Amino acid sequence: METFEELRALARSFIEKEVRERLPEYEAKEEFPWPLVRRMAELGFLGVVVPEAYGGVGLGYRAYLALLEEMGAYASLRSVMSVQQSLVATPILAYGTEAQKQAYLPRLARGEILGAYALTEPASGSDAASLRTRARRVEGGYVLSGQKTFISHGNVAELFVVFAKTDPEQGARGITAFLVERKDGVRSTPLKGKLGLRAADTGAVYLDEVFVPEDRVLGREGEGFRIALSTLDVGRLSLAAGSVGIIRRALELSLAYAKERHQFGRPIAGFQLVQEMLAEMKVDLEAARLLVENALAKKEAGERFTLEASMAKLFASEAANRAAYKAIQIHGGYGFFEEYEVARLYRDARIATLYEGTSEVQKLVIGAHLTGIRAFASPHPGLSQDGGPERRA
């Protein structure tokens, strides 16, 4: 596999031959689709951004985002790729030691283990700096205690990027990132009954006096909040690309249905108000793609892309919800039944405006960049005035 166009073709074949037929059974049972995930690993989908030197495909983020668009309409599977690469492999690549990269990246890229990003807590969501998980220094490392929730891969991951406070008095500057293995003593429980992403694993994660060796600190002590925010930039960009995939699929299904469904003696595609909805979906699709491309261009140039990632995530996630809503309107009563794919698109689109920063948080990030003034009542140390992580040598 040498180009992202080959990767796109591989993804389309995988969707046609395996995903469309098999994913619904896992969705219906709220069961993690291990056979499909293992197949994605075989195809190289879990290591697109990981360099070949560390066992990955090494095609980079442009190819990765193209793959996420292709898989975006199958969000339970897209989620696996996003967590594995945007939220786990990316921070290890950016902040890990050579030993950490050698230890974890090949296994992540080959799908031998799955990873999880453990930031959110029961009392700490958008206000991530207020997390309560503690890391106490002891001889040879740290002891972690706390609870995380809404953790993707919480029950299937063997590796967790865990954020904990090593110095609570320092606020955001007192947060440190750790590479924690399940065998260290991590416990988890499933969180079932989700509106969407029904085949994706979500769990509550418990750290009860878990010892983590000193050589598994990711980055430097006190650098965790910076790592969390920079990682979320990539996560938001990946969600935007996945949302483009939802819009595209909603439009494809709506066009096909509108042409075949006849009412009043003609296809409903000929009705003005149906054409209006289709036109709006098409405009949203192209606009979302361009915002993703804009953010990607900044990233590829080595420039900071926090603003661009937030704009892409905000617009694309909201547009995905609009497109899924219109797709059901076009399908009418049939769209309300699970037999038609648009019902799942509608459910899956909803989470995109919530995780990795709600739409409201994205607006505040954008507003902070525009005005130079953060809207949060109590600014956290470690954040610059424009809402992004401070740059430190």
Q: List residues with catalytic annotation.
A: 356
> Beta partners for 206?
147, 187
Give yes or no for a contact between 74 and 14, defined as CB atoms under 8 angstroms apart: no
Quote the tokens at residue 368. Answer: 């902070």
Q: From CA 143, how far away is CA 2, in angstroms rounded?
A: 44
CA-based nearest residue to 234, from 301, 299, 283: 299
Residue at 242: amino acid letter: G
Give the CA distances from residue 277 to residues 254, 268, 280, 384, in Å, rounded to whole numbers and listed in that order.
9, 12, 5, 41
Quote the tokens at residue 190. Answer: 């499933």
Residues 47-86: b if buried by 16+ CB within 10 A, e if exposed: bbbbbeebbbbbbbbbbbbbbbbbbbbbbbbbbbbbbbbb
The pairing of beta strand 115-118 with beta strand 187-190: unpaired
Q: From CA 151, how far away is CA 154, in angstroms rounded?
A: 5
* Helices and strands (H and E) in the chain: how many: 12, 10
DSSP string, 324-381: HHHHHHHHGGGGGSTTSHHHHHHHHHHGGGTTTS-HHHHHHHHHHHHHS---SSSPPT
Q: From CA 230, how far away is CA 294, in angstroms rounded?
A: 17
